[in-house]
Amino acid sequence: MTPSSASVAHASNNDFYADNEKLYVATDCIVFGFDEGDLKLLIFKRRVEPDSGIWSLIGSFVQLDEDVNDAARRVLKEITGLDEIFLEQSKTYGKADRDPGYRCLSVAHYALIRIDDYDKELVESHGAYWYTLKDLPKLALDHDQMVADALSKLRRKARQQPIGFELLPEKFTIPQLQQLYEAIYQRELDPRNFRKKVLSLKVLVKLEEKDKSGSKRGAFLYRFDAEKYQELLESGYNFEI
């Protein structure tokens, strides 16, 4: 019954939890999407008591036989219908009083999804909606902090690798890519320098098609070269837009 592994049974003070005590572990997902030039977040509103009407991140308990990151993937699949998306651990929130009434810690994960891929009906059936970051309502518990932390991780991540591709549709224009980075960094970028920089990475493949939704003239569509992108990652290059 008593754990025996070296990982925990070593410090002098290794109390185990009493039989009637329990510590819950949950995971919450900060789901980012990009649409109409804005970074969006998938949040959901409880429709039944208790806490009906309160907005929060999507999440779930970690089951006893389940890896923590699998729990996050399960939540994402349940709500968006999507599999195999970018998902990374953000941070663990472990304040003893973070959830009133009982002890529960949450391992937050952030996900990036292509906003045109997800299962719209499934999302709505769960009471989940996309919110622009700026218009975000107050969220439950420490979820506001989770969002702030995930956003700052996303920003750092975006500097290290061309993460934008996870958030854009397969074909995209350079101005669209720029809009995404502007949304992530929350500042304007020079379109001429942005184009120069992004093309210098040699990970974009120019297509023959144009996208005319953004301007009269239209802009050429690009897709990214998965192979060269991989090389770039492995070289340890810093994207630094």
Q: Which residues bind DNA (CB under 7 A)?
A: 173-175, 190-193, 195-197, 210, 212, 214-220, 240
Residue 105 beta carbon to its own copies: minimum distance, rounded to whole angstroms: 6
- Is 144 among the residues that bind its own copies (CB under 8 A)? no
Nearer to DNA, 95 or 210 (CB): 210
Q: Where are the alpha helices (DSSP H) in the chain?
A: 68-80, 120-125, 143-160, 164-167, 174-185, 191-200, 226-234
CA-to-CA distance for 27 and 69, rounded, in angstroms? 8
Distant-in-sequence, close-in-space partners of 217: CB < 8 Å, separation ≥ 6: none
Task: Rule CB under 8 A: say whether 193 interacts with its own copies.
Answer: no
Q: What are phi and psi of 26, to 5 degrees?
A: -120, 170
User: Considering CB distances under 5 to 8 angstroms, the limit depending on partner class, which of its own copies, DNA, none binds residue 174?
Assistant: DNA
Rounded CA-CA distance 132/115 in Å is 13
Beta strands 128-132 and 104-112, pairing class: unpaired
Question: Is 54 an interacting residue with respect to its own copies (CB under 8 A)?
Answer: yes
Does 3 help bind its own copies (rule: CB under 8 A)?
Answer: yes
The only residue of 35, 36, 75, 231 in contact with its own copies, by rule CB under 8 A: 75
Dist CA 42 CA 168 (whole Å): 16
Binding of its own copies by 38 (CB under 8 A): no
Per partner kind, with CB cut-offs from 5 to 8 A, the member of its own copies, DNA, none near residue 217 is: DNA
Least CB distance from residue 174 to DNA, whole Å? Answer: 5
Token output for 167:
């958030």
Pairing mode, strands 38-45 and 24-35: antiparallel
Q: Is 22 in the site for its own copies (CB under 8 A)?
A: yes
Residue 57, sorted as left (phi over 0), alpha (psi -120 to 50) or beta, turns out to be beta
* Minimum CB distance to DNA, residue 171 (Å): 13
195 touches which of DNA, its own copies, none (CB within 5 to 8 A by kind)?
A: DNA
Given DNA, its own copies, none, residue 186, with its beta carbon under 5 to 8 Å by kind, binds none
Q: Both tokens of residue 177?
A: 């890519």
Q: Name which of 16, 119, 47, 124 is nearest 77 in CA terms.
A: 119
What minimum distance in Å lies between the beta carbon of 72 and its own copies?
10
Interface residues with its own copies (CB under 8 A)? 3-17, 21-26, 28, 44, 46, 50-51, 54, 56-69, 74-75, 78-79, 89, 91-92, 94-96, 99-107, 126, 140-141, 143
